[in-house]
Amino acid sequence: MAMYWLLQGCQPGDSLVFHYSGHGAQQRNYNGDEVDGFDETLCPVDFETQGMIVDDEINAALVRPLPRGVKLHALIDACHSGTALDLPFLCRMDRSGQYRWEDHRPRSGVWKGTSGGEAISFSGCDDDQTSADTSALSKITSTGAMTFCFIQAIERGQAATYGSILNSMRSTIRSTGESMGAGGGAVTSLITMLLTGGSLSSGGLRQEPQLTACEMFDVYAKPFSL
């Protein structure tokens, strides 16, 4: 209901923001509209009795009704969140900052984009990865790694374009993960796994923030603006 509320009565010139920080998961896709065969999901507090919120539902509520002249930014800090909005295009970026757009449009031809508006999503990790809560970034308290790095990129003046903010987030998480991997032992890794629901590894943070959009664009030329 909150997702539908966000779009109610929106007018050209409006800028909408949807931020979710919590648990995410995957479930088998049966209608053939997912490249990897899995739907991405969000897990609300009552998911055990009411079910998870599937990316098809999120797309129907937040993306498809978006009218021309309205902009939506979604920040999804959750496990398996790469394509949580089911947007048609994913920006695949490597460690050097080079990127290419992947086409995630369903083979069925069903349009998962907007009704003329602009939808862009930053997510905590790729579809097959987990997102961490960690105190390694703030040094004070446990925070969602993706959310912390997103805010930090803006505060550090590294958010001029969508490419620069994504690069900043990925670099910060990667360097933090490498330092955690160098200084952590089996006990630390086990505690991290238990707290985050992630997999046991000695490499610290293994997530890579992702950018998806309703249309392809030059990520280093397009100014970032909420």
What does the pLDDT read at residue 202? Answer: 36
Q: Which two tokens stand for residue 108?
A: 């069925």
- What pTM was estimated for this model as a whole? 0.84
Tell me the pLDDT tens digit for each residue of 113-122.
999 999 999 9
| pLDDT of the residue at 30 | 73
Q: What is the pLDDT of residue 94?
A: 93
Nearest CA to 165 out of 196, 113, 205, 122 is that of 122
Distance CA 148, CA 129 (A): 18
Residue 184's pLDDT is 45
Q: Please identify every stretch of the chain with a pLDDT value under 50, giving residue numbers as ranges.
A: 183-203
Q: List the 210-213 sheet strands across, edge first.
A: 15-21, 71-77, 118-123, 210-213, 89-93, 99-103
Rounded to a whole number of angstroms, the CA Rg of the chain reads 17
The per-residue pLDDT for range 86-107, each reduced to its tens digit, is: 999 999 999 999 999 999 998 8
91 catalytic? Reply is no
- Mapped onto helix, strand or coil, the DSSP state of residue 105 is coil
Catalytic residue among 10, 19, 23, 149: 23
CATH topology of domain 2-213: Rossmann fold (3.40.50)
79 is catalytic: yes
Residue among 43, 73, 79, 91 flagged as catalytic: 79
